[in-house]
């Protein structure tokens, strides 16, 4: 058995006394290294909140998140990112004053970003390599003909791809994608699906939140189902498809047979 890269351990989060994630016992699940985990659940199940708790945008009320054995509860979001966790957002976020290429280049962990390096001018030599690397990643997500474009000219789907590219250039150990297919046209969805399958086969660890179950059940190798902020079920896609609790949660109890 492979070791767990990410462990969510009895995590609870409440907003103003109202428990959003974790219920009474806390939410627990683990992501073994190399897994492609799908995180699904009806609206309001706490999927995005769980992502925010893992990536440090929100801090758990109680419980712990461990990345490769390291406790993230006290870490800043930027530190968690530099430990090797990459994530995208439900509403795609880009840097509008930067070009498409710069949006990706800024993602790379860059020694040139220190004041010392600016003084010495040492960043110039690294910049070419960085540009090449960003170019490769943009090619991979199908944005190579847009590199000098401004972000405002990208479609919603292209923005999502840009976000993926900005994370890939950092070579994260685990990549969390929040609804990558939302607002993305079918041809781009197919492309995204191929990219995710490729990343998975390269041994990367992926956690993907999706509303599009059809998309996710085809390519993920493990599924976690959330309901009301709590773990409802976990299993392979085929197990989940036939799980009555899951069907009931999505369609209402009447349809569960």
Could you tell me the CA-to-CA distances from 30 to 5, 80, 107, 149 in Å, in that order? 8, 17, 27, 40
Which of 38, 86, 157, 180: binder of another protein (CB under 8 A)?
A: 86
- Rounded CA-CA distance 88/162 in Å is 10
Which of 13, 87, 146, 204: binder of another protein (CB under 8 A)?
A: 87
Residues 188-207 binding another protein (CB under 8 A) are: none
3-state SS, residue 79: helix
Q: Shortest gap between Cβ of 17 and another protein (angstroms)? A: 25
Query: 227 near 249, Cβ under 8 Å?
Result: yes
Binding mask 36-75 for another protein (x = CB under 8 A): -------------------xxx------------------
Q: Shortest gap between Cβ of 190 and another protein (angstroms)? A: 26
Binding mask 105-134 for another protein (x = CB under 8 A): xxx-xx-xxxx-xx----x---x--x----
CA nearest neighbour of 168 among 193, 209, 130, 138: 138
Q: Shortest gap between Cβ of 156 and another protein (angstroms)? A: 16
Which residue is it, tokens 């998140």?
A: 65
Which of 1, 24, 74, 78: binder of another protein (CB under 8 A)?
A: 78
Q: Considering only 82-90, 141-149, 180-188, 204-212, which stretch makes contact with another protein by CB under 8 A?
A: 82-90
Query: 56 near 77, Cβ under 8 Å?
Result: yes
Could you tell me the CA-to-CA distances from 55 to 14, 64, 106, 121, 230 in Å, in that order? 17, 12, 19, 33, 18
Query: 33 near 175, Cβ under 8 Å?
Result: no
Residues making contact with another protein (CB under 8 A):
55-57, 76-79, 81-82, 86-87, 89, 93-98, 102, 105-107, 109-110, 112-115, 117-118, 123, 127, 130, 166-167, 170
């Amino acid at each position: 058995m492979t070791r767990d890269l990410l462990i969510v351990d009895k995590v609870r989060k409440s907003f103003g006394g109202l428990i959003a994630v974790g219920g009474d016992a806390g939410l627990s699940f683990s992501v073994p290294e190399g897994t492609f985990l799908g995180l699904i659940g009806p609206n309001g199940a706490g999927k995005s909140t769980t992502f925010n708790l893992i990536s440090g945008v929100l801090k758990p009320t109680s419980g712990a998140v461990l990345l490769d054995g390291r406790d993230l509860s006290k870490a800043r979001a930027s530190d968690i990112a530099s430990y090797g966790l990459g994530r995208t957002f439900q509403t795609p976020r880009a840097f509008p004053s930067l070009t498409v290429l710069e949006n990706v280049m800024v993602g790379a962990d860059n020694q040139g970003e220190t004041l010392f390096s600016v003084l010495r001018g040492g960043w110039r030599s690294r910049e070419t390599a960085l540009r090449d690397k960003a170019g490769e990643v943009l090619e991979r997500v199908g944005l190579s003909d847009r590199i000098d474009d401004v972000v405002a000219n990208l479609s919603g789907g292209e923005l999502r791809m840009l976000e993926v590219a900005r994370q890939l250039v950092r070579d994260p150990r685990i990549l969390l994608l929040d609804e990558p297919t939302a607002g993305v046209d079918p041809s781009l969805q197919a492309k995204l699906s191929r990219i995710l399958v490729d990343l998975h086969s390269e041994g990367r660890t992926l956690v993907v939140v999706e509303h599009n179950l059809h998309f996710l059940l085809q390519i993920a190798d493990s599924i976690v189902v959330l309901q009301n902020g709590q773990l409802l079920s976990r299993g392979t896609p085929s197990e989940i498809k036939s799980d009555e609790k899951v069907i009931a949660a999505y369609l209402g109890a009447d349809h569960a047979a």
